[in-house]
Amino acid sequence: MDITGSSAIVTGGASGIGAAVARALAARGATVVVADLNAEKGEALADEISGVFAAVDVTRTDQVAAAVEAAGEIAPLRACVNSAGIGWAQRTIGRDGMLESAHDLDAFRKVVEINLIGTFDMTRQAATVMSRNEPDADGQRGAIVNLASVAAFDGQIGQASYSASKGGVVGMTLPVARDLSAAGIRLNTIAPGLIDTPIYDAFPDPDAFKANLGQNVLFPKRLGRAEELASMVVECLTNSYMNGETIRVDGGIRMPPK
Ligand code: NAD
C-alpha cells in the first residue's frame, strides 16, 4: 500500500519509537501529524519533517477526533500509528514489595486509560476518517499499527497495569482487524522488547539499568533501537498482505523470573 502523498497520524510521535516512525513515514512521502502531549518536542519534530503538530491527550476523545479530522483535511489519511504510552511508574514500587502501591486502583485505571482505551479510541476514529478514502487497486483505504509490548505475554513484578493494558491491545487486534476489513482497513500490532528511548530517562541510573536489561536479550546483547521498530511499523503499514497480526520485535528476549 502506497502512502506517498497521504497523511499519517502518529500518537506519541514526539519521542522514542513514535518519533522514529514519524521520520520514517515522512521519508516515505507522507505528511505526518505528530499527536502528543509534549508540545515542545512535538513541534520541533514536526518542523524537522515538514509535518504538523497536534496537541492531543489520547484519553480525550474530542482531541482525538479533532486530530484525525485535521489529518484527513491535509490529504487522505492512510496511516495511523498508536505509540503513545506510559507504564514503568509502578515498577520500583512493585520490586520493593509494596503491593498496595503497585496495585493502586487509580494508577491501574490511568495506565489502562492511556495505553488501551486511548489506543482503541484513536484506532476507531482514524478508521472512520480512512473509510472515506477512495480504495486503491487492492480495495485498501488505510492501515493502522498499534504498539503493545512483550509485557503482554511475560509481565514483571509491579507491572500488572502495564501488562493488562498491553494484553488488551494484543487481544483487540484480531477482532478489530476483522471489523475494519469490511472498510478496506488493516490493523496490525507490534510488541517491542526493550527499546532504547527516553522512556527510561526517569530512572535513577538509566545507563546502568539499560546495560543490565541488555543482558537479557538473546542476541545481540543490547537494547533495540527505535529505528528497528520503525522499519517494522512501516512494513506493517505498507505490506498489503499483513493483517490482524501481532509481531514481537525483541532480540529474542527472555526475561529472568524475578
Ligand atoms: P517515550 O516515552 O519515548 O514516548 C512516549 C510518548 O507518548 C511521549 O512523547 C509522551 O509524551 C506520549 N504520551 C504519553 N501519554 C500520552 C497521552 N495521554 N496522550 C498523548 N501522548 C502521550 O516511549 P517509547 O519507548 O517510544 O514508547 C512508545 C510505545 O512503545 C509505548 O506505547 C510503550 O508502552 C511501547 N513500548 C516501549 C518499550 C520500550 O522499551 N521503550 C517496550 C515495549 C513497548
pLDDT in tens, 39-86: 999 999 999 999 999 999 999 999 999 999 999 999 999 999 999 999
pLDDT tens digits, 164-207: 999 999 999 999 999 999 999 999 999 999 999 998 887 767 78
Residue 142, classed as helix, strand or coil, is: strand
Residue with the three cell numbers 497520524: 9
Cis amide prior to 220 (ω within 30 degrees): yes
CA proximity to 203, closest of 95, 56, 83? 95
Whole-structure pTM value: 0.96
Instruction: Kindly report the number of other CB atoms within 10 A of residue 202's CB atom.
Output: 10
State the helix-helix crossing angle for 160-181 and 118-130, rounded to 10 degrees.
20
Determine the residue type at 144.
I
Around ligand 1, the residues with Cβ closer than 6 Å are: 11-12, 14-18, 36-38, 56-59, 83-87, 114, 118, 147, 149, 192, 194-195, 197-199
